[in-house]
Amino acid sequence: MSATATKAEATVSRRQRRPRITLGKVFTWAVLVWLFLPIAGMIAFSFNDISGRHNVTWQGFTLKWYGKAFVYPDLNQALFNTLLIGFATMLIAGITGTLLGLAMGRYRFRGQQASNLVMFAAISAPEVVIGASLLSLFIALNLTLGMTTVIIAHVMFSISFVAITVRARVMTMDPSIEEAARDLGADSWTTFRLVTFPMLFPAIMAGGLLAFALSVDDFIITSFVSGDLTTFPLWIWGSTRVGIPPQVNVMGTLIFVVGVLLAITNIILARRRS
């Protein structure tokens, strides 16, 4: 009798020591595996030892594609375009979106409702609609499609995201800190430069990075307004018919690794802060 009791106690304490495996945990991890499956495929096939361009069946392990990552000049150009457009979007949408977010979060003014509505519509409008309508505009204006039109489009769909991120921060900011600065004799520009801006900076950064990510990832809108310009996603799309070379997998893997490193730094920084 007592033997069984101690045995039961032992199982209980062992169960408590080990992290409990629940249905929810299993489900979450299963979903994560599902999400990472195509990424794993992409990474695996960046090491595939094939001879031609058809990277479809597994032929054996090689590292050679990492040495020849940049042998397609037009692919390099496409990647370069993507990054350039991303940075330009981050900068322009970051500034205009931040200003709009400041206005929306701090003031009550006429046109605020309309502004809200347009931002909401710009976020929820489907990409084909945005792409198609911008293309119509550019055709009507006789604008040559290319880098400029792509940046115009990317800034347009990123502004609202930046504005919302910044607005949320402005609204939760403690106004008494700025008042304190003013009480200590700072004029409004000094207050903004030394108090408001540093407090807003994380939100501005987050909004800017979001704009960068949206821009780099965008395919649908870009395909409408790019003309002869290629970006990384457009180049992949264009090469599906002739076969996607392993270099694409290599670049995809490198971009992914950069993402992972950013994420890890973020976690470490967050840990250190708390």
Partner 1 sequence: MTRLLNRAAPYLLALPAWIWLGLFFVVPIVGLLWMSLMTGNIIVGFQQTFNVGIYPEVITTYWEHILRSLGYGLAATLLCIAIGYPVAYWIAFHGGAHKSTYLLLLLLPFFVTQVLRTISWKFLLADDGLILGTLKAIHLLPQDARVLSTSIAVIFGLAYTFLPFMVLPIYAVLEQVDHRVVEAAYDLYASRFHAFVHVILPMSLPGVFAGVLLVFVPSSADYVTAWVLGGTHNTMIGNVIQSQYLVNNAYPTAAAITFVLMSVLLIGIFSYAKALGTERVMEVQAG
| Residue ranges in 83-142 that form contacts with partner 1 under rule CB under 8 A | 95-97, 99-100, 102-104, 106-107, 109, 111-112, 115-130, 132-137, 139-140
Site for partner 1 (CB under 8 A): which residue of 75, 88, 90, 164? 164
Q: What's the min distance (Å) between Cβ of 9 and partner 1?
A: 25
Q: What's the min distance (Å) between Cβ of 56 and partner 1?
A: 7
Q: What's the min distance (Å) between Cβ of 6 and partner 1?
A: 30
168 binds partner 1 (CB under 8 A): yes
Binders of partner 1 among residues 59 to 88 (CB under 8 A) are none
21 binds partner 1 (CB under 8 A): no
Span near partner 1 by CB under 8 A; candidates 8-16, 37-45, 83-91, 176-184: 37-45
Q: Which of 99, 108, 113, 134 is nearest to 204 (CA)?
A: 99
Distance (Å, rounded) from C-alpha 182 to C-alpha 199? Answer: 16
Site for partner 1 (CB under 8 A): which residue of 2, 4, 5, 34? 34
Radius of gyration of the chain (CA): 25
Binders of partner 1 among residues 170 to 229 (CB under 8 A) are 213, 216-217, 219-220, 223-224
Residue type, 222: T
1 or 141, CB closer to partner 1?
141
Binders of partner 1 among residues 142 to 161 (CB under 8 A) are 152-153, 155-156, 159-160
Q: Which of 198, 221, 256, 235 is nearest to 76 (CA)?
A: 235
DSSP letters, 136-204, are HHHHHTTPPPSHHHHHHHHHHHHHHHHHHHHHHHHHHS-HHHHHHHHHTT--HHHHIIIIIHHHHHHHH
Paired tokens of 156: 């347009």
Paired tokens of 61: 């392990």
230 binds partner 1 (CB under 8 A): no
Residue type, 153: A
Q: How far apart are the first and last CA of the chain?
A: 49
- Residue 48's DSSP bridge partners are 61
41 or 67, CB closer to partner 1?
41
